[in-house]
């Protein structure tokens, strides 16, 4: 099973582009306008993410959809579709599914490297830091801090399209497990329609880590 599929699990359409090459699949004119003024590296990652999203949408029967960003940069999927995009050096990925099967998806890819020390304090609390130290004592090769950060990014990408509001790093408690799963607990009284507690998966290989969250269907 592919790395991204291990993190996403069965069901959603997945497309990934490995390497630094610019994808041949062109942007729609509306997508091209959105990114026209950006620097080349940003245009490249946007184009790669859109190429993956287009392939995933085609798998679901949606052809020629312009995947424009909403006010907070969230991709605006066609009615009846949910999805998520992520990119890091060397990889772009998109996942999409029918909203009757899942209300929201979040995916995040990151390079397989320790989280910079100056970021750690703003991403995790004391309990999360201690849990990561315990995991690292048994497996020092896995970048647990980076995985925890990535899991929070995945949570946010699934959260935002449902709630249309910010979620701070301190508002989602992540419990990483060595078996390739994690639990996210939202530290708010009211999270509906997002679950208060939800599980996700992570995978590691080819120089990257992947986390994903596919919310259970109703």
Tell me the window of 15-23, 26-34, 68-76, 134-142 that interacts with ligand COA (CB under 6 A): 68-76
Residue 5: other Cβ atoms inside 10 A: 18
If one asks whether residue 128 binds ligand COA (CB under 6 A), the answer comes out as no
Q: How far is the CB of 117 from ligand COA (least distance, A)?
A: 18
CA 138-141-146 angle, 5° bins: 105
Q: How far is the CB of 48 from ligand COA (least distance, A)?
A: 8
DSSP state of 1: -
> Two tokens at 184?
């996210």
If one asks whether residue 155 binds ligand COA (CB under 6 A), the answer comes out as yes
State whether the Cα torsion 42-48-51-52 is positive or negative. Answer: negative
| 3-state SS assignment for residue 89 | coil
Q: How far is the CB of 49 from ligand COA (least distance, A)?
A: 4
Alpha carbons 59 and 74: distance in angstroms, whole number: 21
Residue with smaller CB distance to ligand COA, 76 or 178: 76
If one asks whether residue 87 binds ligand COA (CB under 6 A), the answer comes out as yes
Q: How far is the CB of 88 from ligand COA (least distance, A)?
A: 6
One character per residue 94-123, x = contact with ligand COA (rule: CB under 6 A)? --------------x---------------
If one asks whether residue 202 binds ligand COA (CB under 6 A), the answer comes out as no
Find, among 179, 176, 178, 157, the residue nearest to 167 by Cα.
157
Residue 170: other Cβ atoms inside 10 A: 13
Q: How far is the CB of 202 from ligand COA (least distance, A)?
A: 14
- Helix 126-138 to helix 144-163 angle (10° resolution) is 130
Contacting residue, 12, 23, 75, 145, with ligand COA by CB under 6 A: 75
DSSP H or E run through 4 = helix 3-8
Please name the residue ranges forming H helices in 91-141. Answer: 117-123, 126-138
Q: How far is the CB of 107 from ligand COA (least distance, A)?
A: 8
If one asks whether residue 77 binds ligand COA (CB under 6 A), the answer comes out as no
Count of alpha carbons within 13 angstroms of residue 187, beta-carbon side: 10
Q: How far is the CB of 26 from ligand COA (least distance, A)?
A: 15
Tell me the window of 11-19, 127-135, 159-167, 190-198 that interacts with ligand COA (CB under 6 A): 159-167
Which positions touch ligand COA (CB under 6 A)? 45-46, 49, 69, 72-75, 85-87, 108, 152-153, 155-157, 160-161, 167, 169, 172
């Amino acid at each position: 099973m592919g790395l991204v599929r291990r993190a996403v699990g069965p069901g959603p359409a997945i497309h990934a582009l490995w390497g630094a090459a610019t994808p041949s699949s062109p942007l729609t004119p509306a997508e091209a306008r959105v990114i026209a003024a950006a620097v080349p590296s940003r245009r490249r990652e946007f184009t790669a993410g859109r190429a993956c999203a287009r392939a995933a949408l085609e798998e679901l029967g949606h052809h020629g959809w312009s995947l424009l960003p909403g006010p907070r940069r969230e991709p605006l999927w066609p009615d009846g579709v949910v999805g998520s995009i992520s990119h890091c050096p060397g990889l772009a990925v998109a996942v999409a599914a029918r909203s009757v099967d899942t209300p929201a998806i979040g995916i995040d890819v990151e390079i397989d490297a320790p989280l910079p020390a100056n970021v750690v304090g703003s991403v995790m609390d004391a309990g999360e830091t201690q849990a990561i130290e315990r995991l690292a004592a048994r497996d020092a090769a896995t970048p647990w801090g980076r995985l925890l950060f990535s899991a929070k990014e995945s949570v946010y990408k699934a959260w935002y399209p449902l709630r249309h509001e910010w979620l701070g790093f301190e508002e989602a408690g992540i419990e990483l497990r060595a078996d390739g799963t994690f639990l996210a607990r939202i530290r708010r009284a009211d999270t509906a329609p997002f679950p208060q507690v939800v599980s996700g998966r992570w995978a590691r290989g080819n120089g990257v880590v992947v986390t994903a969250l596919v919310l259970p269907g109703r």
